[in-house]
Structure 1
Amino acid sequence: MSDVATGALDATFAALADPTRRAILARLRSGEASVSELAAPFDMSQPAVSKHLKVLERAGLITRGRDAQRRPCRLRPGPLEDAAGWLENYRAFWEDRFQNLDVLLEELKGTGDE
């Protein structure tokens, strides 16, 4: 994995580490929203939500458009897909290990019955 890809993945996981940012991403799954719409369910100021949005934007997880007076935020799936792909490698690794363990346990169980 290149340094650029590693940096992007690091930024994605750092952004996902915060529950507020994960909630914002969950909201954006249903479509674009303004900063005030995204801030509404949280017990924090709009500037605080804007700081979270900047982290998400730097990680490439969202884009912020310009529609006259409004700056709608939109979800970008690419970085999440990259993170899911990275995690998939480890899921496959552990699944293989557990399969090997199952085979060994079955063999041991079979030899113990004799």
Structure 2
Amino acid sequence: MITNGVRVLSALADDTRRAVFEALPQGPKSVGEIAAGLGVTSSAISQHLKVLREARLVMVQPAGNRRLYSLDPRGLADARDYLEQFWPSALAAYSAALSNAREEQSPK
């Protein structure tokens, strides 16, 4: 079963998609504005935004005849929740490595 946390990480694995995502913290933007800023066609940006929407990383809001895209905090929460499941074991491994390093450096 693919969780949305995995979907988020997969969506951000693509360089262009990550650039689209990183262009949005400053505020909502249209496809044309994102495309102009990245030097990518509007059609390509639309396809990347579709994947980001499916991963709940961006949301769209109609504004007159334009559609404005902004960050969706739900996707970031999904990614955080997914990664947090590994945090206890990562801390335990770090603690063990630190203890081993101290033991190796202590005078005998």
TM-score, length of structure 1 as denominator length? 0.80
Match 2:55 to one of 55, 59, 69: 59
Inter-CA distance 85–69: structure 2 relative to 1 (3 Å threshold):
same
Which fold has the larger relative contact order, with Cα–Cα distance below 8 Å and residues 6 or more apart in sequence?
2
Structure with the largest fraction of strand:
2
Deviation at 1:106, TM superposition (A): 2.5
Q: Which runs of 5+ in 2 are unaligned?
A: none
- 1:20 maps to 16
Deviation at 1:108, TM superposition (A): 4.5
Select 1:42's aligned residue among 38, 44, 49: 38
Structure 1 position 39, deviation (Å): 0.6
Structure 2 SS opposite 1:33? coil
Aligned residue among 71, 82, 88 for 2:84: 88
Aligned partner of 1:9 in structure 2 is 5
Q: Once superposed, what is the RMSD of the aligned Cα atoms?
A: 1.9
How far did residue 109 of structure 1 move?
4.0
Q: Identify if the C-alpha distance between structure 1 residues 48 and 109 changes in structure 2 by more than 3 Å, giving closer, same or farther.
A: closer
Q: Identity over the aligned pairs, expressed in percent?
A: 31
Aligned structure 1 segments of 4 or more residues deviating by more than 6 angstroms:
none
Number of aligned pairs? 108
Structure label with greater radius of gyration? 1
Q: Which TM-score applies when normalising by structure 2? A: 0.84
Identify unmatched segments of 5+ residues in structure 1: none
Give how far 1:68 is off.
Answer: 1.6
